Amino acid sequence: MLWLLGLHIAALLCWCAAIVGVPVLLHGREHFETGDATAGAVRESRQHSGATVIPRRVFTWLATPAALLTIASGTVLFLLMGTVQGWLLLKLVLVVLLVGAHVCAGLLMLRAERAGQAPPRYPGHGLSLLMLVIMMLIFSLVLAKPGT
């Protein structure tokens, strides 16, 4: 079971790093302008600007699989341990909020693709800040495990 906990923690760290990075990558679009040769495969199926190729790949190939692996391994740990305590239920609520923020990051990226430009700066920064606060609350709660 220790390997499963290690997998859960590693997947969580990958998810957190990737999902916080998506809004940052969307605002750094001048650094990721790509030509038709690089973005061609992505643009064939949708109308992407070159600026959203890297954030889309980070979101699709790193953040989302890491999120699914985190949730799956956490669910298995929850079922194996059989622990139902107040701090764990609060952690699950915070994880649901983090999943909601993950979806919002995807929607922000879609908005940037449709507009053909970077999304407004403040919603992206606010989303990153919200995700960081939720992550810190989750980490603090898990480390403190109040009531145990």
DSSP 24-69: HHHHTGGGS---HHHHHHHHTTS---GGGHHHHHHIIIIIHHHHHH
Mean pLDDT across the chain: 81
Give the integer Cα–Cα distance in Å for 30 and 7. 35
Query: For 105-139, how does the pLDDT look when each residue is reduced to its tens digit (9 = 90+)?
Result: 998 888 877 776 656 666 778 888 999 999 999 99
- pLDDT: which is higher, 43 or 96: 96
* pLDDT band (50, 70, 90) for residue 46: very low
- pLDDT score of 116: 67
Query: How far is Cα of residue 13 from the mean position of the Cα atoms in its chain?
Result: 10
- pLDDT score of 148: 62
From 9, 23, 107, select the one nearest 66 (Cα to Cα).
9
Question: Cβ atoms within 10 A of the Cβ of 31, count?
Answer: 9
- pLDDT score of 121: 65
Break the chain into its structural domains and give their ranges: 2-144
